[in-house]
Amino acid sequence: QVQLVESGGGLVQAGGSLRLSCAASGRTFSSRVMGWFRQAPGKEREFVAAIGRSGGTTYSADSVQGRFTISRDNAKNTVYLQMNSLKPEDTALYYCAAGAYGSNSYLRPYDYDYWGQGTQVTVSS
């Protein structure tokens, strides 16, 4: 069982930055791909970024590439999402997710076994 707790969301002006954190419980953190998804009102949950189990490989959606950076600290069981140059269209509830044990799949919500409760990010214009 893995529990995920996100933090770091808030209200920021366009062009600003936020850093999201996701703390995980349990002893399998380093064996799981970690991902960030987001969901805006009336829209489907969408992939934002993911990071491989060792942290050596990262993936990001075209819409955030060059602005968002995902990282992880396996010693602290924590994954981060640094968000720079934020835009109003980045406004959403951001979820942290833990992938299936030992799997490298990362792109779809069904690739993940555990989800956090979400943290709201609001970008004003």
pLDDT given at position 94: 98
Residuewise pLDDT in 10s, the chain (125 residues): 899 999 999 999 999 999 999 999 989 999 999 999 999 999 999 999 999 999 999 999 999 999 999 999 999 999 999 999 999 999 999 999 999 998 999 999 999 999 999 999 999 99
Give the pLDDT of residue 1.
86
Buried-state track 105-115, b at ≥16 Cβ within 10 A, e below 16: ebeeeebbebb
Q: With CA atoms as reference, report the closest residue to 59 among 89, 3, 104.
A: 104
